[in-house]
A = this chain, B = another copy of it.
C-alpha cells in the first residue's frame, strides 16, 4: 500500500472543515470571533508511552487524549488535530483499528482531523499529534498564576493509571483490575472542567508525570511553594489499601487537572464540580517559598522513593 492510497482509504474520511479532504499541503484555520487558538503537541512512542501489545484503537485514543488533556488544562475547547504517524509497516488490520479509535474519539470530543503526515520508520510505532483548540481572548489558563493563600485542588483520583499499568505488566492483581486498566488505557481529558475554571483558577495544568513532579512545575512557574496534605489525596479505596504512595504521587498518566483557586472563589467549585460531573478535592495550599511538600498524618514530609516520571532512562 502506498502513502497516498493509505491516506485516501483511512484518513480522508476523518478530515473536517479546513482540511480540504487532506488533498492539499496544509489546513486553513480561524479562531471564532473574540477567541485565540491554543496549540499543543505530545508524542507517544510504542514501548515508552504505550505497550507494544496494545490494540490499535486504544493507541489512537491515548495519543489523542493526552493532547486533549493539555487543551483541557488551558481551558480550551478543542477544534481538531494534525497527525504525524510513523509506521514500521502499513498493516490494514492495524490501520483499520487505529482509525476506528480516532473516529470514535472525534465524535466524543467534537473534533476533526486537520492534516498530518504518514511515514515509514524502521523504529517503533510513534505518533506525534498536534491538537488545536480555542479560548476566549485573554482567558487561557496558565501555570504561573498561583499565589500564596490559594487552595490547591485536584480532579478525579490519583495513581489509578500507574496501578493499571502494573496490572497489565503482570506485576499486580487487585479485585478492581478492570477499573485500573481502563484508567491507564483511556485517559479522560477534563475539558468541561478546564473550561469552567476560566476566570476561577489562578493556575492550572494536567498531571501527566505524577502529582509530585507536576506540582513542582506549577510551583516553579508561579514562584510559590505548594503544600499538599497526604491524607486529603483522592485515592481509590483499593489503591488506598495498597498504601502505594509512589503510584499515587509519582505514578504518571493520571491526566487529572491540578489547579489553584483564590480562597474567595473556592465556594464556586461545588457548582463547577456538579456541572462537569467530576469530583474535586482540596489537597493543599499555596504558600510563599518554593517547591512541593507532601505532609503525612504525623506532620512529617512524605519520603517518595522516586520523584515522578522521567522520559530519559525510563521505559515501560
Q: Mark A12-28, 1 if CB is under 8 A from B, else 0.
A: 00000000100111111
Asked if A82 and B43 make an inter-chain contact with CB atoms under 8 angstroms apart, the answer reads no
CA distance A130 to B83 in the complex (A): 10
Listed stretches A32-40, A240-248, A273-281; interface member: A32-40
A29 within 8 A of B: yes
Interface residues on A, range: 35 or more
A28-B36, A38-B26, A120-B45 known; A311-B2 Cβ under 8 A: yes
- Quick check: is A84 within 8 A (CB to CB) of the other chain? yes
Kindly specify which of A70-78, A146-154, A180-188, A262-270 makes contact with the partner chain. A70-78
CB-based contact B30/A312 at 8 Å: no
Q: Given the complex, which residues of B lie within 8 Å of A92, measured CB to CB?
A: none
Residues of the B chain whose Cβ atoms lie less than 8 Å from the Cβ of A28 = 36-39, 135, 140
> Which residues of A pack against B, CB within 8 Å?
1-4, 6, 20, 23-31, 36-45, 47-49, 70-71, 73-74, 76, 82-86, 90, 114-124, 126, 128, 130, 132, 135, 137, 140, 142-144, 205-206, 217, 220-221, 310-313, 315
Tell me if A48 and B311 are in contact (CB < 8 A): no
List of B residues within 8 angstroms of A25 by Cβ: 40, 70, 73-74, 143, 205-206
A39, A45, A142 interface centre (most CB from chain B within 10 Å): A39
Q: Decide: A121 near B124, CB < 8 A? Known: A25-B206, A26-B76, A115-B41.
A: yes
29 examples of A-B residue contacts, CB within 8 angstroms: A2-B310, A3-B310, A6-B312, A20-B142, A23-B220, A25-B70, A25-B73, A25-B206, A26-B70, A30-B31, A30-B37, A39-B82, A39-B132, A40-B115, A41-B82, A41-B84, A41-B117, A43-B84, A43-B86, A43-B119, A44-B119, A45-B86, A86-B123, A117-B128, A120-B313, A121-B124, A122-B123, A128-B128, A130-B130
Complex CA gap A178/B140 in Å reads 49
Please measure, in the bound complex, the distance between the C-alpha atom of A206 and the C-alpha atom of B24, giving whole angstroms. 10
Contact of A143 with B23 in the complex, beta carbons under 8 Å: yes
Q: How far is the CA of A44 from the CA of B45 in the complex (A)?
A: 16
Contact, CB under 8 Å: B221 / A24: yes
Determine whether the beta carbon of A117 is less than 8 Å from that of B86: no
A-B CB proximity, top 9 nearest: A123-B123, A128-B128, A84-B128, A26-B40, A25-B70, A3-B311, A130-B130, A41-B82, A29-B37
